[in-house]
Amino acid sequence: MRIVDLRSDTLTRPTAAMRTAMAAAEVGDDVYGEDPTVRRLEEMAAELTGKAAALFVASGTMANLVSQLSHCGRGDEVILGDQSHVFYYEQGGCAAVGGIHPRTVPNQPDGTLDLAAVEAAVRGEDIHFPASRLLILENTHNRCSGAPLGVAYMQRAGALARRCGLKLHVDGARLFNAAVALGESAAALAGPADSVSFCLSKGLAAPVGSLVCGSAAFIARARRMRKQVGGGMRQAGVLAAAGIVALEEMVARLAEDHHNAHHLARRLAATDGLRLDPDRVYTNIVFFDVVHPALSAPALAAKLGARGVRVLALGPRSLRAVTHYQVTADDTDWAVGTIRSVLEAG
C-alpha cells in the first residue's frame, strides 16, 4: 500500500549521503572533547548562527532544557508563550528538573509574543516573587502554523530582554525553515539571542541530534548541564557526520517543502468538509479543521491511516500535516484525493 506520512518532519530518513558519511566518520570520545567530527559540526553550527561556540546534544527537548538550566537557577523564572513547544510538549522539564518557574504570555496567531505583555510579566524586586531571568521565543512556531518570526521582531525582543535584565533563548527547532521562508540568514534571526537551538532531525533529515549555540562561556556551562542530565555521548561523530551533510545539503531544499505545503493547503481549502486559510501556511506545516458533520478529526485520521495517508489529530476538529524531504508534490496530490474520497464516503 502506498504511504504518505504527513504527521511530522521528524519522520524523515537519512539520505544516502548521510549514511555514507556516517559509515566513514572519524570518531573519538566526545565527552573528552576528542571527537573531530562532532567538533566540526559544532564549529559549523556556531558559524551559521553567528555565535562563538556550539554544543551537540541528543534532541531538541534536551537542547532547550540544557539552555534553561544554563541561564537560570532554582527558583528563577522563565517567560514564554502559552503555545510554545517548551511549555506544551517538553513535560515541564524546566520545573521538574531545574526548579525553574514557567510564566506564560499568550502567543499571537503569528507566533510572536506581545512585547508589552512580556514587559508587564517581568517581576519586580519582591521577596514574594521568583526572579525573572529568561525569555524564550520559538522560530518557526509549531502550534502557530509554522509561522516564522522576522529579524525586526527578534531585534525588538532582544532589546526588550536587555532592558529588562533578561537573557533571550530562541527555540529554533526549525530555524532554517524560518531563514529560507524569510530570505534571511540563520545568523540574522539568531543575532539578538543569547542562545539558540536548532534540530537536525526534522526537515534537515538527519537521524538524531540538535545544536545549542551561544557564547563560549554559555556553551561551557551548557556542556556541564548536558552532563548533569545524562546527555554526554562518546563516539558521537557517527551521528554528527549526518548533521554535517544536513547543514551542507539540506537547508536550501527546505523551500521545496514550503512549496508543497502551500500546494497542499490550497487543495485542502477547496475540499468540502474541511476548513483552513491557505494564507496562514507559512513554511511546511498545515493545520486544518474538520467540519464534516459525521466525522471528527481523530475519526478522519484513523480512516485516512487505513488508506495510507497519515496525519496528526490535535483535537476534536483539528488536524496537522507537515511536508518534508520524503513527501513529493505528487504525494500531496494523492493524499488530497484520498482525503476527498474518505470525506465523500463519510
**How many CB atoms within 10 Å of residue 326?**
15
Q: What is the pLDDT of residues 273-328, one digit of tens each?
A: 999 999 999 999 999 999 999 999 999 999 999 999 999 999 999 999 999 999 99
At residue 143, what are phi and psi to the nearest 5 degrees? -75, -5
CA-nearest of 118, 182, 195, 198 to 156 is 118
On whether the CB atoms of residues 41 and 240 are closer than 8 A, the answer is yes
Integer Cα distance of 183 and 150 in angstroms: 10
Q: Is the pLDDT of residue 24 over 90?
A: yes
The architecture that CATH gives domain 253-345 is Alpha-Beta Complex (3.90)
pLDDT bin (cut points 50, 70, 90) of residue 107 is very high
Output the pTM of the full model. 0.97
pLDDT at residue number 132:
98
Mean pLDDT over 152-158 rounds to: 98
Q: What is the pLDDT of residues 211-265, one digit of tens each?
A: 999 999 999 999 999 999 999 999 999 999 999 999 999 999 999 999 999 999 9
Q: Is the pLDDT of residue 346 over 90?
A: no
Instruction: List 147's β-bridge partners, or say none.
Output: 141
* Nearest 10 degrees: Cα torsion 226, 231, 233, 236: -90
Q: Is 18 helix (H, G, I), strand (E, B) or coil?
A: helix
Q: Which residue has better confidence, 25 or 1?
A: 25
CATH 3.40.640.10 residue ranges of the chain are 12-249
Q: Is the pLDDT of residue 180 over 90?
A: yes
Q: Cβ-count burial of 324 within 10 angstroms (0-12 exposed, 13-18 middle, 19+ buried)?
A: buried
CATH 3.90.1150.10 residue ranges of the chain are 253-345
The architecture that CATH gives domain 12-249 is 3-Layer(aba) Sandwich (3.40)
- Does a cis peptide bond (omega within 30 degrees of 0) precede residue 140? yes
Cα–chain center distance at 197: 9
Q: What does the H/E/C string look like for the chain?
A: CCCEECCCHHHCCCCHHHHHHHHHCCCCCHHHCCCHHHHHHHHHHHHHHCCCEEEEECCHHHHHHHHHHHHCCCCEEEEEECCCHHHHHCCCHHHHHHCCEEEEECECCCCCECHHHHHHHCCCCCCCCCEEEEEEEECCEHHHCCECCCHHHHHHHHHHHHHCCCEEEEECCCHHHHHHHHCCCHHHHHCCCCEEEEECCCCCCCCCCEEEEECHHHHHHHHHHHHHCCCCCCCCHHHHHHHHHHHHHCCCCHHHHHHHHHHHHHHHHCCCCEECCHHHCCCCEEEEEECCCCCCHHHHHHHHHHCCEECEECCCCEEEEECCCCCCHHHHHHHHHHHHHHHHHC
Integer Cα distance of 294 and 313 in angstroms: 16
Residue type, 235: Q
pLDDT at residue number 283:
98
Q: What is the pLDDT of residues 29-83, one digit of tens each?
A: 999 999 999 999 999 999 999 999 999 999 999 999 999 999 999 999 999 999 9
CA-nearest of 310, 260, 266, 301 to 284 is 260
Q: What is the pLDDT of residues 324-343, one digit of tens each?
A: 999 999 999 999 999 999 99
